[in-house]
Structure 1
Amino acid sequence: MTLELKGITKRVDGRLHIKETSLRLEPGHFNVLLGETGAGKTSLIKLMAGLDRCASGSILMEGVDVTKQNTQQRNISLVHQFFVNYPHMSVFDNIASPLKVAGMAKSEIEGRVEEAADLLQLRPMLHRRPHELSGGQQQRTALARAIAKESNAVFLDEPLANLDYKLREELRAQLPELFAGRGAVVVYATSEPEEALLLGGQTALMQDGNVTQFGKTADIYRNPADLVSASVFSDPPINSARVTKKGDEIRLDAHVKWTATGEASGLADGEYDVAVRPHYVSPVRIADRHVPMTGTVQVTELTGSESSAHFKLGDQSWVSLSQGVHPYQVGEDHEFFMDPDHCFYFLPNGQRAR
């Protein structure tokens, strides 16, 4: 089963909310929609699921135009970040609900529900009501319903966002395996770049209702086509600044400069925007070629085994993310070291410099 979007758009109050989008989504892997809150991920899912109508363009499922079909006619499943279960029904009946609506035989319903319940470790809870379940178990119930239905397409709209850290990690690891070999197109929306990388497959980067880049997840992480795509695929935010290349030297300001190597060595002399992810800006020098820069620490954070520091470099705000605990003092100058081998260079119009 393939799901193809051909130039679809969506308008809200006369304004173009989803800009013209064309994608071909295949089964066999996750198709991730990655973007910040408000980027248009949920709106695009609603169009694909038939919950909203396209202003223009068409949607094809296995070559058949379903643009004007409603959600029920498209045979899809949708799992939200909120635990959407019927409170008056048992877990068994929640999972079985779309199968009963379809008029499926009782024996087949039982087989599908039990199979899905075993996959999601829900067998002991089949006779409970949703209010008797934990948040993770409720979301497992919603996922089991999607699996039991054996839909042509499954849309997962930030399904782990409201779970605690441990449950998110467990379910995130299980999801690709749960949907493997089922022949359905799986679309997964997230605002977390790390989650997209863990799920693999293909990713569509979204910003302001527009798909900025689409392809194999690892490839577009390593090779963003433009500065917008590089920014979408970075958390904390990617560092960027205007630099000047002259000969084999790249200069950020009077004190920060480095030798152009690799991709940068072939660039013509001129101005570019350099971008580097925060984990390639370290408070300690790891290699001789790393570029020293001194900035004033503004904010520090300790998250698990990582330390981050937001610091002022000239009139730019930069971020460093590194392993371990580091003795930052807010308001003090601190030396950082940037890895020039992991810099991206973009033209002033935002396109990748080649």
Structure 2
Amino acid sequence: MNLIANNLTFKPSEEYHLNEVSFNFKEGNLYTILGRTLSGKTTLLKTIAGLLTPDSGAIEFDGKDFLKVPVWQRNVAMVYQQFINYPHLNVFENIAFPLRQRKIDNEEIKNKVLDSLKSVGLVGYENRKIQELSGGQQQRVSLARSLVKNAKILLLDEPLVNLDYKLREQLREEFKSLFSRGLADETILIYSTTDPRETMELNGEVIVLDEGKVLQVGPAKEIFENPNSLKVAEISNDPPMNIIEADLSNNKIRFEGIEIKAPSHLSNLKDSGLKVGLRSSDIELNENGYEFEVELAEISGSETLLHLKRGSIKIIISIEEVLNFKIHDKIKIDFKIDRAYAFGADGKLVSSPFGGNNG
């Protein structure tokens, strides 16, 4: 069974929330919708769930016009950013709630709830009150309640965004394990996130969404290696990919007094408003490199992010260790130029180190 949408458009005010969005989601697959805040991710999920009605376009599921199917008849489950649980019920009854609404036999409810608890690693917590659980455990209860419904379409709307970093990492691993154990064999899993790292780790089919419009669709590896535009390069990297306006001529890349020999995949390009893109991890400290000034130093876990400038050029580099730098410190860096991208004046990808281009 496929979930197919054609030209979904939703414009409740002056701005598009969905702008001619089309997709073809197949059962047994995981799809990740990647986009910044207000890109239209939640609107798209709510449209699939039937909580919003688009202005135009069509959705078909199992050969039926899905937009004509009432919300309560759609075989859809949704997990939200917030921990939506019933505080007056224990864990077992929270998960059993949708089954009791269907008047299912008590023994069947017990079996389904215990299977669901096992799936999310909460066996033994059946009698706990919601208030006795951690944030991550509460989110797992929400997920278990969605799984127990055995819905054909499972929507997860940034389910980890409100958790702390360590717990987010832990639950992300559990989600990956959960999805890989075959729970999705007959289910369409759609997971929305603002986090590029989360997108790559889940490793599903990715839909990059921005201002309600689909920018690129493809496997996570393809999106990472060959972003088809500057916008996708920014959205699919954290920190966003560094974009440098440079002169490319005579097999050289020049900017702010720096001259670097162009790598083979950029050597035949001629300067026509091209921009060079480099990820923060592809720039490194080097005592024999080029001098930049520190504008800001951030410590994130075991990583240091340095915001640097040289003339009109501003870049961010990431270093896999904790370092102590101060504002206005002068440091020297070098570029892994063989990993550089080139984008045209129109913002489209011209050449990538992985062989991708739009030419």
Task: Give CA-to-partner distance per residue, 1:167-226, whole Å, 9 cap, x none.
Answer: 222221121332434311111111111111110011111222222111101111000001
- The amino acid that maps onto 1:16 is Y
Q: How far has the Cα of 1:240 moved from its partner?
A: 0.5
Q: How far has the Cα of 1:103 moved from its partner?
A: 2.9
Percent of paired sites with the same residue: 33
**Is the Cα contact below 8 Å between 2:275 and 2:345 reproduced in 1?**
yes
The answer for unaligned runs of 5 or more in structure 2 is: 351-356
- The amino acid that maps onto 2:114 is E
Task: Give CA-to-partner distance per residue, 1:222-266, whole Å, 9 cap, x none.
Answer: 00001100000111122112112112112123x212222232123
- The amino acid that maps onto 1:143 is L
TM-score of the aligned structures, taking structure 1 as reference length: 0.93
Matched, 1:120 2:120: yes
- The amino acid that maps onto 1:114 is L
Task: Give CA-to-partner distance per residue, 1:25-71, whole Å, 9 cap, x none.
Answer: 22333211111212211111111111100111111223322013232
2:211 to 208, 216, 220: 208
Q: How far has the Cα of 1:269 moved from its partner?
A: 4.3
1:141-290 to structure 2, matched below 5 A, reads: 141-179=141-179, 180-182=182-184, 183-253=186-256, 255-284=257-286
Q: RMSD of the alignment, in Å?
A: 1.8
Separation in structure 2 between the aligned mates of residue 233 and residue 99 of structure 1, nearest angstrom: 39
- Which runs of 4 or more aligned residues in structure 1 lie more than 4 Å from their structure 2 counterparts after TM superposition? none
SS in 2 for 1:23: strand
Separation in structure 2 between the aligned mates of residue 334 and residue 86 of structure 1, nearest angstrom: 54
Q: How far has the Cα of 1:345 moved from its partner?
A: 0.6
Which position in structure 2 is the counterpart of 1:73? 73
Separation in structure 2 between the aligned mates of residue 293 and residue 66 of structure 1, nearest angstrom: 58
Q: How many residues align?
A: 348
Matched, 1:309 2:309: no
- The amino acid that maps onto 1:351 is K
Task: Give CA-to-partner distance per residue, 1:247-292, whole Å, 9 cap, x none.
Answer: 2112123x2122222321232343301111111111237xx9xxx4
Separation in structure 2 between the aligned mates of residue 122 and residue 335 of structure 1, nearest angstrom: 50
**Is the Cα contact below 8 Å between 1:250 and 1:259 reproduced in 2?**
yes
Separation in structure 1 between the aligned mates of residue 173 and residue 116 of structure 2, nearest angstrom: 17
SS in 2 for 1:264: coil
**Is the Cα contact below 8 Å between 2:233 and 2:240 reproduced in 1?**
no
Q: How far has the Cα of 1:14 moved from its partner?
A: 5.1
**Is the Cα contact below 8 Å between 1:51 and 1:70 reproduced in 2?**
no
SS in 1 for 2:327: coil
Which position in structure 2 is the counterpart of 1:110? 110
